[in-house]
């Protein structure tokens, strides 16, 4: 994966220089995607600010994020970090709602991601930094497993052309700490430690297979048919995230 790493690092550096920015800000969750993204950004030698933004976070996720941040600051002199505990801000947000947001778990989870996005952009703008996205190919272009205007709100996406298996392979080659490499993938938005697989109903390797499937469905076993149905369901429901915002086109004669 050395060639892949070098290509992404060069791409990141060139984009930053073209945009006249000083580097990158990355939200660190304790997961594999943000760990890989932050190391790739650090490899550019540009300024990198890592943010740990807990919102009623599980202890294990928080500890992994802190361990990764400490590891990177030890390895790279261009990396700094801030912990911004957003739990009280989120509580205030909940209290201001004219309805019980707690009763809608998905709305609550997505609001967490959007609050973190706002924080990343505030820090990025204040320091002339680009917000680096952490989504992979399966999440971003397969099942749309991200929050619209949350973790989907970024300036650039360095690993969005790598599937999850490739992200894990890259993580091993660039020295992501073992605790993160061995942890089950989770979006960290629910506060109960649920894994991505629990939410989706399929593993990332299964989803990668479904994303590339172009064969005879009659030959599939029951599990493969189930996975293909899961993939297609998410892909259809979340298509609005993966396509440009629709614009109502108005002809010139209507404007007369």
pLDDT tens by residue, 105-141: 688 888 999 999 999 999 999 999 999 999 999 999 9
Q: Identify the H or E element spanning 80.
A: strand 79-83
CA separation for the pair 25, 169 (Å, rounded) = 23
pLDDT in tens, 125-183: 999 999 999 999 999 999 999 999 999 999 999 999 999 999 999 999 999 999 999 98
Please give the share of the chain, as a percent, with pLDDT higher than 90: 79
Provide the CB-side half-sphere exposure for 212 (13 A, CA).
Answer: 8
Report the pLDDT value the prediction gives residue 54, as an integer from 0 to 100.
92
* Predicted confidence (pLDDT) at residue 249 exceeds the cutoff of 70: yes
Cα–Cα distances (Å) from 88 to 45, 54, 65, 85, 91, in that order, read 34, 10, 20, 8, 5
CA distance linking residue 79 with residue 56, whole number of Å: 25
The string of pLDDT tens digits covering residues 201-224 is: 999 999 999 999 998 999 999 999
Give the count of alpha carbons within 13 A of 126, CB side only. 7
Inform me whether the pLDDT recorded for 99 exceeds 90. Answer: no
In CATH, which of 3.40.50.2000, 3.30.70.100, 3.50.50.100, 3.40.50.620 is domain 2-251?
A: 3.40.50.620
DSSP 193-248: ---HHHHHSS-HHHHHHHHH--S-GGG--HHHHHHHHHHHHHHHHTHHHHSPPP--
User: For residue 103, what pLDDT is reported?
Assistant: 60
Reply yes or no on whether the pLDDT at 94 is more than 90: no
Q: pTM of the full predicted structure?
A: 0.91
Could you give the dihedral angle defined by the CA atoms of residues 209, 212, 215 and 220, in that order, rounded to the nearest 10 degrees?
A: 20
Residue bearing the bigger pLDDT, 37 or 184: 37
C-alpha distances in Å from residue 200, one per residue of 37, 115, 207: 23, 23, 10
- Between 19 and 59, the higher pLDDT residue: 19
Q: Give the confidence band of 85 by pLDDT, cuts at 50, 70, 90.
A: very high
d(Cα 80, Cα 82) in Å, to the nearest integer?
A: 7
Predicted local confidence at residue 230, as pLDDT: 96
| Distance from C-alpha of 227 to C-alpha of 206, rounded to nearest angstrom | 7
Whether residue 47 contacts residue 59, with contact meaning beta carbons closer than 8 Å, is answered with: no
Whole-number mean pLDDT of the chain? 92
Please give the structure tokens belonging to residue 16: 């930053």
């Amino acid at each position: 994966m050395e060639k892949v790493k070098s290509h992404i690092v060069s791409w990141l550096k060139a984009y930053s220089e073209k945009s006249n920015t000083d580097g990158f800000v990355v939200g660190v969750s304790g997961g594999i995607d943000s760990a890989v993204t932050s190391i790739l950004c650090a490899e550019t030698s540009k300024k990198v600010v890592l943010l740990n933004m807990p919102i009623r976070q599980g202890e294990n996720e928080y500890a992994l994020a802190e361990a990764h941040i400490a590891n990177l600051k030890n390895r790279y002199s261009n990396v700094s970090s801030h912990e911004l505990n957003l739990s009280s801000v989120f509580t205030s947000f909940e209290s201001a709602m004219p309805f019980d947001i707690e009763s809608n778990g998905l709305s609550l989870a997505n609001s967490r991601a959007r609050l973190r996005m706002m924080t990343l952009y505030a820090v990025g703008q204040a320091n002339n930094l680009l917000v680096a996205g952490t989504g992979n190919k399966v999440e971003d272009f397969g099942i749309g497993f991200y929050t619209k205007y949350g973790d989907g709100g970024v300036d650039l996406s360095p690993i969005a052309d790598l599937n999850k298996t490739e992200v894990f392979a890259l993580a091993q080659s660039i020295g992501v700490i073992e605790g993160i490499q061995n942890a089950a993938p989770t979006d960290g938005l629910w506060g109960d430690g649920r894994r991505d697989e629990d939410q989706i109903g399929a593993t990332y390797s299964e989803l990668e297979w479904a994303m590339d499937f172009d064969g005879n469905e009659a030959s599939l076993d029951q599990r493969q048919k189930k996975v293909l149905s899961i993939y297609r369901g998410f892909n259809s429901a979340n298509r609005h995230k993966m396509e440009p915002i629709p614009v109502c086109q108005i002809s010139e004669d209507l404007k007369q």
